[in-house]
Amino acid sequence: DKGPYRHYMLKEIFEQPESTARTIGAYVNAVDQTAQLPNEQELDFTSFDRVYIIACGTAYYAGCVAKYWFEKYAKLPVETDIASEFRYREPALSKNALAIFVTQSGETADTLAALRYCQENGLTTAAVVNVPTSTIARESDAILPTLAGAEVGVASTKAFTAQLCSLASLAVIAGRARGVLTEKDETHLTEQLMQIPGRITEALKVENAAKELAVDLSKARDVLYLGRGTMFPIAMEGALKLKEISYIHAEGYAAGELKHGPIALIDENTPVVMIAPTDPLLEKTISNMQEVAARHGKVLLITDENGAKVGADTPAWTLIAPSCDPFIAPILYSVPIQLLAYYVAVEKGTDVDQPRNLAKSVTVE
Ligand code: F6R
């Protein structure tokens, strides 16, 4: 049932205050402000020398965000891999690694094959998974549930932010176990996690602005998404969302790579979406934005109040997201890129919930 919403995708975007609250509630104890694995499971993070995160599509981008978290908050080296590449590459594996598989359905063929490969090689495995009865959930050593609820729209939205919530919680758990985070750090970070649902409610207020500028954006043939740090995978996810449902060609790039190639694409017909919350990298991203503007590229800046002031004159359009600790920014900034893709697709009149050629669960390779 879509309720008052025109598409499941929009309904699922608007469910994110509840779906993230459920997922965070499974990992964070609100009373003592600590994080732990659900269902009394244990993973000995002091025994792991590295983490492999393996997934496909949107779930892979969640893993790419998690790499930044695990390395920063737990000082654990992370390798991210696309499951279809990993399984055939003959990867050199550390026996002391934790392999994490991120999957909404728990049935993706390549991800399942990668899980079995890791188990044959004696690694500890964990699944960040939305369907607890799925094959990948059943076959993994630990289950890290995402409690997004059933996702009907083929383009993943609430499952993605739930994956980010599980992985963020896991990074805090790992950081604490490894002595990288103090009790005070854990309190601070769990407080940030608990703020996510409320901040998502605020972020959803960009809906009308996204709808308005979708009219212009829907005329583009190509769109570039740029971001730094955790906003780099969010840029890739934004581009994937746009191409999946609007059929506009889009690419996500690390903003610092602009000069190394993609800047050649910039002209007045190639809009650039810059995702730039206030963090230590803001100034650098703003200067990338000015380089784009100097080549007559139209910029859509997605930022907070402060970023909008710093960036002021340059962007053609701005979407304002809530200000927040950089830790949770990738979760909040997922919302404007979802709404943008959604309204561009609506503007183009495509079949939003059932985009052409795509299946919700890819059980053949
Ligand atoms: C994109 C999308 C896909 C899936 C991918 C993995 O919106 O939904 O890219 O993320 O097919 O699927 P799961 O998570 O079921 O393994």
Q: Is 338 in the pocket of ligand 1 (CB under 6 A)?
A: no
Angle in degrees, 0-180, between the axes of helices 334-348 and 158-177, rounded to the nearest 10: 160
Q: Is 285 in the pocket of ligand 1 (CB under 6 A)?
A: no
Q: How confident is the model over 70-83, as a mean pLDDT?
A: 98
Short-list 54, 65, 30, 348, CA closest to 214: 348
Percent of the chain with pLDDT over 90: 90
The pLDDT mean for the chain works out to 96
Which ligand 1 atom sits nearest the alpha carbon of residue 108?
16
Q: How confident is the model over 245-269, as a mean pLDDT?
A: 94
Whole-prediction pTM: 0.97
What distance in Å separates the CA atoms of residue 100 and residue 48, rounded to the nearest whole number?
12
Q: Is 244 in the pocket of ligand 1 (CB under 6 A)?
A: yes
Angstrom CA distances, 303 to 17, 95, 285, 315, 343, stand at 20, 42, 11, 11, 19
Short-list 57, 61, 18, CA closest to 148: 18
User: What ipTM did this prediction achieve?
Assistant: 0.99
pLDDT at residue 1 above 90? no
**Token pair 């183009």 is at which residue?**
348
Q: Using one digit for the tens of pLDDT, what is the confidence trace for 169-191? A: 999 999 999 999 999 999 999 99
Q: Using one digit for the tens of pLDDT, what is the confidence trace for 210-233? A: 999 999 999 999 999 999 999 999
**Token pair 């919930």 is at which residue?**
353
Which ligand 1 atom sits nearest the alpha carbon of residue 55?
16
Q: Is 56 in the pocket of ligand 1 (CB under 6 A)?
A: yes
Query: Confidence class of residue 316 from pLDDT cuts 50, 70 and 90?
Result: confident
The pLDDT, as a whole number, for residue 325 is 97
* Nearest CA owner, ligand 1 atom 3: 57
Q: How confident is the model over 63-85, as a mean pLDDT?
A: 98
For the ranges 153-167, 271-285, 351-365, which has the lowest average pLDDT?
351-365
Q: Is 360 a catalytic residue?
A: yes
Query: Confidence class of residue 356 from pLDDT cuts 50, 70 and 90?
Result: confident
Q: Using one digit for the tens of pLDDT, what is the confidence trace for 112-142? A: 999 999 999 999 999 999 999 999 999 999 9
The pLDDT, as a whole number, for residue 206 is 97
Which ligand 1 atom sits nearest the alpha carbon of residue 58?
10
Find out whether 130 and 106 touch, Cβ atoms under 8 Å.
Answer: yes
Percent of the chain with pLDDT over 70: 100
What distance in Å separates the CA atoms of residue 183 and residue 29, rounded to the nearest whole number?
13
* Nearest CA owner, ligand 1 atom 9: 57
103 Cα–ligand 1 center, Å: 7
Q: How confident is the model over 188-199, as a mean pLDDT?
A: 98
358 Cα–ligand 1 center, Å: 10
347 Cα–ligand 1 center, Å: 24
Say which DSSP state 5 is in: -
118 Cα–ligand 1 center, Å: 21
Q: How confident is the model over 74-102, as a mean pLDDT?
A: 96
Q: Is 288 in the pocket of ligand 1 (CB under 6 A)?
A: no
pLDDT at residue 313 above 80? no
Query: Confidence class of residue 363 from pLDDT cuts 50, 70 and 90?
Result: confident
